Structure 1
Amino acid sequence: MIIEKMTFYNFKSYYDKVELGPFHESFTAIVGANGCGKSNVIDGLLFVFGRRAKQIRQQKVVDLIHKSALHPNCTEARVDVHLISVDTEGSYLPDTRFTVTRTVFRDGTSKFMIDGVVCKFDAVLEKMKSKGFDLLNNRFLILQGEVERIALMPARSKNGEDGMLEFLEDIIGTSQYIEEIEKGTSELEKLNDEVHEKTNRFKIIERERNGILKEKENAISYLKEEYKMCGLKNSLNKQELKSVEEKEVESKEEREKLEKKRKVIQNIKNEKLIEKTAKDKVIEEKGKDIKKIEKEYETQKSLVNSAKKKKARAEEEKKQNEKAVLRNEKEIKEMEKKIKDEKEKIESKQRRYNQLSKTIEKDKEEIEKLKNDLEKQTNEIKEKILPRRKMEEKTQKTKESTIKQEQLNDLKKKNKELKKRIEKGGLDIEAREREITRICKEFEIKKQTSEEEIQKIEEQNKVLFEQLEQKQKELEKLEGIDVKIIKVNLQDINERNKRSIKEYNRIELEISGSTSKIDEWNSYLKEMNIHLEELKNRMEKDEIKIDETQMKLTKKELNEKTDELKKIEEEYEILLKKIEELETEEDKIKEQIEEINGNNSELTEKRQHCEKEIRSIFKHIRELLHIAEIHEEDEYIKNMLNHNETDNQMDEEKIRIVGISLKDVVDELKEINRKEVLAMIEDEKKKIENMIENVNLKIIATFIKVNKEYQEKWDIMNEAIKKQEDCKSTLEALKKKRFDEFINGLTEISFKLKEMYYLLTQGGVAELELVDTLNPFTEGVVFSVRPPKKAWKNITNLSGGEKTLSSLALIFALHHYKPTPIYVMDEIDAALDFRNVSIIAHYIKERTKNAQFTIISLRPEMFELADRLMGVYKVKDVSCSVSFDPNAYNLNNN
């Protein structure tokens, strides 16, 4: 993408419509006298690319509208920048042209347009960015005096002016993180204050909670004593269960009688089962005989199956062998196809070789023709030069002789005249002297004219000799280039020919190997077919034998076994009937046991009454614990409750299941007397009465409220700390990203800077150094250089030319780091001597292969290398422009 041309409408010193261009795709130089409006070209680009008025050397954007003595009332200013893409040869690509326009009006408003369509500046940014132009973070427009400003930059910004650090951050692109880092830092400070505030509030509630902790402990110990008293009441209720259990003993005796009857029935049942097992043994023996017959049958059957499997396996092997043969045939076909392809490749390469050999012969013939033509031309030139030299010698001699003859004739004439005058006596000595001086002057003039003519002839001879030498050099180059190309082509053809021969040999080996494999498979296939026929014959014989023996065995044995099975089945049915009779008797006994259990309902009612009282006590304790809601005490009380509940469950189990001994329960009640339990309950009451004076049960509710607030403050504080940590980690990650990108970019720029400074100064060294290596953003970056044969210096301590070279080296390094298709520079060579200007100019000329350079310069060493000159001049305080192609002009002269 390049600038094709620019159009100004009443912009600064340009009145009405002024078109600048077309710009050359490589190197355009803008020349003109001081004050003619050269720098306004860059100002126009800055204007279109959205720069503010102060960056275009004006206080207000309205000041950009043209105003001169003849045209003081212009109402608007506009600049069009026409851009187009080019290919590698510099030709314009179709359908790639577009125009970016900006217009400013007298009221201070402005608008942007792309191809005549009004748009926002963001659209211009996106459009240019898509074409490779970063208008925000790039320095492809170098303004007048900016080179010197770079040299005077401090390490970092001071007094609101950008330093080297900010300059490099704009180029590298890390300046985009500064605003986010500042926001993150301010947010972190707010979060730090918030965390401090939340922590203080948490500490206040924590002190309040710790203050009522002792009172809460007293209330909990009071509740524990009450719980202990409830436990004693529970043990008292257990003693009341004793009478219930004594009645349970009477029901036990009745159960024992029923148990005896059940045992008699069980004995009868066992006898019948013994008889049944005996019959089962007989059935089992008969079953074993049947299994033996079945086993023999299975063995014979397995032999048949194995023979069938062998047959199937042989058939499978036959199929696999047939598949292998087909696969090998396929491989042979593929190999034949490969051989055919390789032969075709060899033939194509042979044809290519023949073509190349023909072209080589043609090239040799052309070279011979060129040599002959060159010899003819040289001979012609020599033939032209020889007569010319002879003519020169002749002309020289004739001129000299004519001059001498004329001089001699003049002298003779004058001598005659003098003689006449002397004879007459009318000529004095002074007149003679004047005449002699006049003759000498005429002689000198004629001598000078003859020398000038000789010099012209010599210059013409030099031009002819130079043309002859140039023709000889061109011939030598042509011979060298063509011979090299032919050699390279011949080597390439020979190598390809060798490779194709090797590939052909390899394929032949593979074919021979595959044919041998095919022979092996064919022989193996024949053997397998023979083996298969043998197996078929064996199988047929074995199947006939098996069928005969099997038929003989099964007919006799099956008849015998069926008779025995019928007898066993009849005996088994008789046993089943007897078992059913015994089960009916057992059901009757169970009904009698259930009637006895029904008599125990009165005992269960009393047990349920005791359980209700115990549950009411536990309910009261749970209500008290629900008020406390403290984990440790709650766990302790729950454990006690679970213990009592398990005791109750055990009592219930003893009452429900008849036959379990109640001795253990009775022994436990003997150990604790009813009177002792009542005494212990009274002691607990006294303890509770003594404690109640110092106990505030309401403190538990207060503690619950404070503890809830304590937990809320704790959660709020932790949430604030989490936000603080998240913000800190995000900020650190952003700082690290900025640091890494800046260091990587600085390293690349510094490396290229060394290379550029060494090239421009022919031996100097330059470096970009961090003042603080741990944090480059606090102290900034220092630009240090060591000119050739001098010591290290800060750039601010260099001479004007050295500063300019150092700054240009940095600018070119930045261009290499972030290249763009276009570079526009305003008088970057102003402070350099002719030698350094020439170095800079040749470097820029080299760079124009990959980018478009537009240089405003007054130095001939610079603009003489340009591919196009653009002249700017002023007429009546209005800038005008004219383009000039120096290459076309030189061609016309030749």
Structure 2
Amino acid sequence: MTACRLYTPLPPTFRLVPELELALLLRPPKGLSKKFPKPKENGNSMPPAGRAPQQLSDESEEEEEEGGRRIAGVYIPPAPVPICSTECVGPRLIISKIVNENFKSYAGRQVLGHFHKNFTSIIGPNGSGKSNVIDSMLFVFGYRANKIRSKKLSVLIHKSENHQNIRSATVAVHFVRINDLPGDDYEIIPNSEFVISRTVFNDNTSYYCVDGKRVQFREVAQILRTHGIDLIHNRFLILQVWIENLKYLPQNIPRLFDLIRLQDERMKPAFYFALRNTLVANDLNQARSVAYGATRYRVVTLEGEIIEIEGTMSGGGREKRTGRMGRSATVTTDENPAEIAAMESRLEELGGRLAQTRDRIRNREDTVSTLTRDTQKWKVELSSASNLIKLSKFKLHNLPFRPPPSELKTYTLEELSQFNENELEIASINCHDILKKMKPNLSAINDFNEKDAIYKTKCEELDDVTNRRNEVRQGFEEVRKARLSEFMEGFHIISYKLKEMYQTITLGGDAEFELVDSLDPFVEGVSFSVRPPRKSWKNISNLSGGEKTLSSLALVFALHYYKPSPLYVMDEIDAALDFKNVSIVGNYIKERTKNAQFIVISLRSNMFELANHLVGIYKTNNCTKSCSIIPEKYARMAEAQIERGRSV
């Protein structure tokens, strides 16, 4: 789970776009963002779990914020205001405690906390259940089972020798808003406590509750977002995997299937069926960084350790178990005549069915072809009719002017005597015959008027659509320019703060965060180079493990400076650091916790010794339990005993 995903290839640059844009809080238009389905199982509302949801509610339920805009029916919220500070003024939200009930290694009801308003460290031996604290939060925050190191949700239900047939598990996170007072004191804002919980059953269904009332997940996310905890961009949860992903911006890790060379190429599909996209890493650290990234992979190391997609790991030991990896493998097959005959018979049967299917396909293709020809014919006729209408309209507008007939001439008797009556009668009959043969369409004028009205209506519709298109095009251009402007503003702030952060935690180093293509920053990504103290400039890919971790933490702190969160949860971010650098990072966190809550999982003494509260995690009878102590209280008790000893 990461706030940004980092893509290959790394040297000489790595890509943080558009994920860096997310970290900069430039949210995409909500109407254009991907909507996740809201399936329901057993009547319980199921969240779009497995990844932080990108859309928390339907458009009809969203309230338009001041400064937002709507383009072609798509609502675009205003750009978030960057905080650019580590100071927090006014009330803030903290986690007071977490209650796990039959969740993973926690049997029965186990309370984690109370957590201090500033700095709490979670400590305990390996395998005791420290990481399950993170998993419990991921569970409540809507993540799918494979993101919580499990195959399915029902696996999250506790099962041990003394606790069998448990049907459900529940995690409840208790929140409260406080006002800081001098020292460790604070006052709770009245009626600000609320509890968000999620319950899972052994049939893999689950539901959410807020203060005991069932709700949909989008309501949970909306409540947390109003208090500054953004599940979309995830600025508050910093896992070791996050740091590892930055350290190993990625690397050229091959697939095991691509390394296999076979004498019988026909066996390749069988090998791919077994291996799929299994990757080969150099060591376990590299394997973890790849396996637990935003996209899960099955990874095997050169020493034989295997990390499955669901997160389980097998192998290890003192001796390397290379097997046939790296050596030529010969594939042979044992032929059984009876099986071959049966397979050939089956093949003939399938061939017959395939032929029938192809015949049906050809018949459908003929039908489609006929319909296509008819459609083309109708289109031609329609086009001809349209042209005829246009031509008729043109002819109607260009009819020659005919003067009105003159008055009938009056003949005298002498003039009439000159005409032959029989000739006149024959001429009249001929005129009538000509008129009968002409058969004029007297309804043509009405038809023309109808077609002309339709034509004018279509012209008006075309003008309306054209105007709307121009408006949308102009709005899109404005949004594109605003996106670029806001991104560059945030990028420059983060770049400047990154330099400052790296200098602080390395005691004199330097860092550069630059765009590869300044004209189009959303295409080529960024280049991250650092200069450790008393060393030359290097790309992050060429640094040692500890230097990569420090560089990654500097970037993390710079991103969180741009938009801080009221609380942070960190999982063993100091694992690759030496004693000196752990102290530097720990003291920076200690300084930062004056106005924010930090919950840090750590095994390093010079990190957790700085904490205000310690939450110890331990196991008894395959069940995880916890206890909470206040180091300062015991330190004062120890000093008092020393003073009494001296006085005696």
**How many angstroms apart in 2 are the aligned matches of 1:745 and 1:60?**
39
Instruction: Choose from 130, 138, 141 the match for 1:38.
Output: 130
- For the Cα contact (< 8 Å) 1:154–1:782, is it kept in 2? no
Aligned to 1:815: 560
Determine helix, strand or coil for the equivalent of 1:111.
strand
Verify the 8 A CA contact 1:827 1:858 in the aligned structure 2. Answer: yes
* Shift in CA distance, 809/696, structure 1 to aligned 2, threshold 3 Å: farther
Q: Does 1:868 align with 2:613?
A: yes
| Closer, same or farther: CA 200–777 of 1 in aligned 2, 3 Å | farther
Q: What's the counterpart of residue 571 of structure 2? A: 826
Tell me what 1:93 maps to: 188
**Cα deviation 1:787-836 (Å, max 9, x = unaligned):** 33444444333221122111111111222222222111000001111111
In structure 2, distance between residues paired with 1:745 and 1:871: 39
| 1:724 counterpart = 2:469 | yes
Deviations 1:695-728 (A, max 9, x none): 9986984766665555455444434433433443
Shift of the 200–783 alpha-carbon distance from structure 1 to 2, 3 Å rule, reads farther
**Aligned equivalent of 1:226:** 403
- Contact 2:501/2:558 (<8 A) preserved: yes
2:94 is aligned with 1:2: yes
* Superposed CA offset, 1:31-56 (max 9, x none): 11111111111111222222222222
Query: Offset of 1:65 from its aligned partner?
Result: 0.9
Larger Rg: 1
Please tell me the residue identity of whatever aligns with 1:15: A
How do 1:5-84 and structure 2 match up within 5 A? 5-84=97-176
When you count strand as a share of all residues, which structure comes out higher? 2
Structure 2 residue aligned with 1:141, among 211, 223, 237?
237
Tell me whether 1:127 sits opposite 2:304 in the alignment: no
| 1:407-556 correspondence runs (5 A) | none
Query: In 2 relative to 1, CA 150–208 (structure 1 residues): closer, same or farther, beyond 3 Å?
Result: farther
Q: Does residue 1:744 correspond to 2:489, yes or no?
A: yes
Q: Distance in 2 between matches of 1:205 and 1:712?
A: 18
CA deviation after TM superposition for structure 1 residue 212, in Å = 4.9
> Following the alignment from structure 1 to structure 2, what is the Cα–Cα distance between the partners of residues 202 and 714?
18
For each residue in 1:492-535, what CA deviation from the matched residue of structure 2 results, as whole angstroms up to 9, or x when unmatched? xxxxxxxxxxxxxxxxxxxxxxxxxxxxxxxxxxxxxxxxxxxx
Summarize the Cα distance change of 1:17–1:708 in structure 2 as closer, same or farther, 3 Å threshold.
closer
Code of the residue aligned with 1:777 in structure 2: it is F
Deviation at 1:83, TM superposition (A): 2.3
**Partner residue in 2 for 1:878:** 623
Aligned positions of 1:308-707 closer than 5 A = 701=445, 707=452
SS of equivalent residue, structure 1 residue 849: helix
Q: C-alpha displacement at 1:126, in angstroms?
A: 3.0
> Are the aligned partners of 1:201 and 1:713 in contact in 2 as well (CA < 8 Å)?
no
Corresponding position of 1:854: 599
Change (3 A) 1:215 1:820: closer
For 2:217 and 2:584, the matched residues in 1 are separated by 39
**Could you tell me the percent identity over the aligned residues?**
46
Which blocks of at least 5 consecutive residues in structure 1 are unaligned? 168-198, 238-688
User: How many residues were matched structurally?
Assistant: 397
Task: Report what 2:282 is aligned to.
Answer: none
Shift in Å, 1:152: 3.7
- Once the two structures are superposed, the pairs formed by residues 150-165 of structure 1 within 5 Å of their partners are 150-153=246-249
Which residue identity does 1:75 align to in structure 2? Answer: R
The equivalent position to 2:532 in structure 1, one of 769, 772, 787, is: 787
**Residue pair 2:171, 2:199 contacting (<8 A) in 1 also:** yes
Alignment partner of 2:598: what SS? Answer: strand
Q: Is the 1:24–1:868 contact (alpha carbons within 8 Å) kept by the matching residues of 2?
A: yes
Q: TM-score, normalised by structure 2?
A: 0.54
Q: Match for 2:233: what amino acid?
A: N
2-structure distance, mates of 1:201, 1:884: 87
Using the alignment, how far apart are the partners of 2:103 and 2:608 within structure 1?
Answer: 25
Cα distance change of structure 1 residues 811 and 203 upon mapping to structure 2, 3 Å threshold: farther
Task: Report the Cα distance in structure 2 between the residues aligned to 1:888 and 1:17, rounded to whole angstroms.
Answer: 27
Q: Do 2:180 and 2:187's aligned partners in 1 also have CA atoms closer than 8 Å?
A: no
Structure 1 moving runs of 4+ over 6 Å: 199-206, 695-700
Rounded Cα–Cα distance in structure 2 between residues aligned with 1:714 and 1:696:
34
d(CA) in 2 for partners of 1:818 and 1:4?
23
Q: Give the drift of 1:842.
A: 0.7
1:774 Cα deviation from its structure 2 partner: 3.3
Shift of 1:6: 1.7
**Correspondence for 2:82:** none
Please give the secondary structure, in 1, of the residue aligned with 2:240: coil
Q: Decide whether aligned partners of structure 1 residues 141 and 705 sit closer, same or farther in structure 2, where only a CA change above 3 A counts.
A: closer
What whole-Å deviation, never above 9, does each CA across 1:601-639 have from its counterpart, x for those lacking one?
xxxxxxxxxxxxxxxxxxxxxxxxxxxxxxxxxxxxxxx
Q: Which residue of 2 aligns with 1:841?
A: 586
Tell me how far apart the structure 2 counterparts of residues 728 and 94 of structure 1 sit (CA, whole Å): 48
Name the CA shift for 1:210/1:840 in 2 (closer, same or farther; >3 Å): same
Cross-structure match for 2:207 = 111
Does the CA-based 8 Å contact 2:179-2:189 persist in structure 1?
no
Instruction: Indicate the SS of the match to 1:769.
Output: strand
Q: Give the SS at the match of 1:138.
A: coil
Q: Aligned pair in 2 of structure 1 residues 708, 869: CA closer, same or farther (>3 Å)?
A: closer
Alpha-carbon distance in 2 for matches of 1:75, 1:205? 72
Structure 2 counterpart of 1:244: none
Task: Tell whether the 8 Å contact from 1:216 to 1:703 is kept in structure 2 after alignment.
Answer: no
Amino acid at match of 2:599: T
Q: Which amino acid aligns with 2:558?
A: A
Q: Is the 8 A contact 1:7 1:81 kept in 2?
A: yes
Q: Is the 8 A contact 2:176 2:193 kept in 1?
A: yes
Residues 386-416 of structure 1: CA deviation (Å, up to 9, x unaligned)? xxxxxxxxxxxxxxxxxxxxxxxxxxxxxxx
Look up the equivalent residue of 1:774 and give its one-letter code.
L
Q: Give the root-mean-square deviation of aligned CA atoms.
A: 3.8
Does the CA-based 8 Å contact 2:247-2:545 persist in structure 1?
Answer: no
Counterpart code for 1:118:
R
Pair 1:79–1:225, CA change in 2 (3 A): closer
Between the aligned partners of 2:391 and 2:129, the Cα distance in structure 1 is 85
In 2, distance between residues paired with 1:751 and 1:827?
Answer: 27
* 2:515 and 2:525 in contact (8 A); partners too: yes
- CA-to-aligned-CA distance 1:213-255 (integer Å, 9 cap, x gap): 775477x22xx2323x55xx69x99xxxxxxxxxxxxxxxxxx
Kept in 2, the 8 Å contact 1:138–1:818? The answer is no
Structure 2 unaligned regions, length at least 5: 1-92, 256-276, 278-289, 295-378, 411-430, 640-648
1:841 & 1:37 partners in 2: Cα distance? 23
In structure 2, how many angstroms separate the alpha carbons of the residues matched to 1:86 and 1:127?
A: 16
Aligned-residue offset at 1:849: 0.5
The structure-2 alpha-carbon separation of the partners of 1:57 and 1:736, relative to structure 1 and needing over 3 Å to count, comes to farther
| Cα pair 1:36 1:874 within 8 Å, conserved | yes
Cα pair distance change 1:732/1:202, threshold 3 Å: farther
> Match of 1:756, as an amino acid?
M
Q: Distance in 1 between matches of 2:142 and 2:516?
A: 34
Distance in structure 2 (CA, Å) of the matches to 1:891 and 1:141: 33
2-structure distance, mates of 1:137, 1:886: 34
For the Cα contact (< 8 Å) 1:209–1:710, is it kept in 2?
A: no
User: How far has the Cα of 1:879 moved from its partner?
Assistant: 1.2
Instruction: Measure how far apart 1:94 and its partner are.
Output: 5.5
Worse overlay, 3-12 or 117-126: 117-126
Q: 1:736 to 1:890 in 2, by over 3 A?
A: same
